[in-house]
């Protein structure tokens, strides 16, 4: 019995399948320009407290995802200065600022899914965590990253940015 070389047949079948897949994909996928316009239309720069005084938006909504700018321990009644009292007081005020912002843009603390914590001194990590945990239920802790930095705005001890859903 003579065995035929099936390699050309297999290559041909795979080529036809790949071409068919590309044709089907291009038929169901909107053109790049239309997708870009739709995506751009679904981005909203949120300014719940009026026009920002610094060059960033407090929050940006993309679809049902809300990106909050980093918050530090400033109190509106303190003319934008940091609250006194060390890492615990700054963390508490930072978390209150996050809560105020996330609620003002139509979400809530229990819808925060990711936080990034930046700290001036990682030796204050445990003390920051004690306050941070007060703001989330034990079974709904957001994913989180943290790192130490050589400086934060206004000399803050901690800055936290978050991602939430609507």
> What was the pLDDT predicted at 102?
96
So what's the pLDDT on residue 117?
98
Structure tokens at 8: 């050309």
Report d(CA 112, CA 163) in Å as an integer. Answer: 6
Task: Kindly indicate the confidence band of residue 130, based on its pLDDT and cuts at 50, 70 and 90.
Answer: very high
Q: What angle do CA 129, 49, 160 make, to 5 degrees?
A: 20
Q: Where are the beta strands (DSSP E) in 41-155?
A: 43-46, 59-62, 65-71, 112-119, 143-148
Say which DSSP state 73 is in. S
Q: Provide the whole-model pTM.
A: 0.74
Task: Read off the pLDDT of residues 11-56 as tens digits, 9 standing for 90 and up.
Answer: 455 555 555 555 555 555 555 555 555 556 689 999 888 887 778 8
How many other C-beta atoms lie within 10 A of the C-beta of residue 82? 20
What interhelical angle do 125-133 and 86-104 show, nearest 10? 40
Max Cα separation, the chain?
93
Residue-wise pLDDT for 64-94, tens only, equals: 999 999 999 998 765 678 999 999 999 999 9
pLDDT at 22: 53
The chain-wide mean pLDDT, for the chain, equals 84
pLDDT (0 to 100) of residue 81? 86
Sheet hosting strand 112-119, strand order edge to edge: 43-46, 59-62, 65-71, 158-165, 112-119, 143-148
pLDDT of 129 strictly over 80: yes
């Amino acid at each position: 019995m003579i065995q035929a070389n099936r390699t050309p047949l297999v290559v041909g079948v795979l080529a036809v399948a790949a071409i068919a897949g590309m044709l089907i994909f291009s038929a169901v996928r909107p053109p790049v320009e239309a997708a870009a316009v739709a995506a751009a239309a679904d981005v909203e720069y949120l300014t719940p407290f009026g026009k920002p005084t610094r060059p960033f938006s407090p929050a940006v909504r993309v679809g049902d995802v809300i990106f909050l700018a980093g918050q530090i321990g400033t109190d509106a009644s303190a003319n934008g200065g940091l609250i006194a009292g060390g890492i615990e007081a700054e963390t508490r005020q930072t978390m209150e600022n996050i809560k105020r912002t996330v609620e003002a843009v139509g979400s809530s603390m229990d819808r925060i899914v990711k936080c990034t914590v930046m700290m001036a001194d990682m030796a204050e990590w445990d003390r920051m965590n004690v306050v941070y945990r007060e703001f989330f239920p034990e079974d709904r802790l957001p994913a989180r990253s943290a790192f130490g930095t050589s400086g934060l705005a206004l000399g803050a001890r901690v800055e936290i940015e978050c991602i939430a859903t609507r």
